[in-house]
Amino acid sequence: MTVLRLRGFEIHKGLLDRAEQLVLLDGVRAVVKAAPFFRPVTPGGQKMSVRMTSAGKYGWYSDAEGYRYAPTHPNGTPWPAIPDAALAIWDRLTGLERHPECCLINYYDSDARMGMHQDRDEADFRWPVVSVSLGDEGLFRIGGQKRGGKTDSIWLQSGDVVVMGGEARLHHHGIDRIRAGSSKLLPKGGRINLTLRVVE
Ligand code: MD3
Ligand code: FE
């Protein structure tokens, strides 16, 4: 297992083997059963191409009222618990006593992408964010704290885990495209990303 450092991001290539990925996928399936994927609408009225759901005390989404963390799914029900397998990855990589309060789950079909943005709806940027990739490869683009600067790109593969802490926590980032058919993990293809965040 190798750790790559790129612009302050800590990329653990191949941290999860196939068996660990399947256990995590079981946890994702349980979450999606209780809290189905939906396509958030941006405050500007555009449907996002990425499908989302969440687990934990808070979930993140956007609608006409803006981008925010909310204690319930748009259908009004509380989010299910964060899968133990996801918390185990957080514990292993951060060693922190504190646990995340949100596990945002993004699903990308072969046409989905996520534009460059910062994650800044959390109360305290000193806590890291941990991201886990499952399924098809995604081209992850990383910039700096200011928008519009130089960027670097790296393909994230199933089982890769990224830790964003320190200066990297406020760096711009996005997913430019998905490489359809690059993984056999998800029977119907596509890419799943989990991000673990301390919200309060
Ligand atoms: C850097 N997700 O959900 S994960 C997101 O693959 C998001 O679905 C992408 O950006 C995805 O907000 C990228 C990597 C990631 C996640 C959170 C971050 C990078 C981050 C928070 C701060 C800085
Ligand atoms: Fe993000």
Please check whether residue 47 lies inside any domain of the structure.
no
Residue 172, amino acid: H
Q: What is the pTM of this model?
A: 0.97
CB atoms within 10 A of CB 50: 18
Please check whether residue 58 lies inside any domain of the structure.
no
Report the nearest-CA residue for atom 13 of ligand 1. 174
* Res 187: pLDDT: 97
Pocket test for ligand 1, best of 7, 119, 139 (most atoms within 8 A of CB): 119
Three-class secondary structure of residue 19 per DSSP: helix
Please check whether residue 107 lies inside any domain of the structure.
yes
Residue 8 pLDDT exceeds 90:
no
Regarding the beta carbon of 163 and ligand 1, being less than 6 Å apart is answered no
The span from the CA of 53 to the CA of 37, in Å, is: 5
Domain that holds residue 11: 2-21+82-197
CATH for 91: 2.60.120.590
> Domains in the chain: how many in total?
1
Q: What residue spans of 43-137 are helical by DSSP H?
A: 84-94
Q: What is the pLDDT of residues 82-139, one digit of tens each?
A: 999 999 999 999 999 999 999 999 999 999 999 999 999 999 999 999 999 999 999 9
Please check whether residue 26 lies inside any domain of the structure.
no
36 C-alpha to ligand 2 centroid (Å): 20
Q: Are 77 and 25 in contact (CB under 8 A)?
A: no
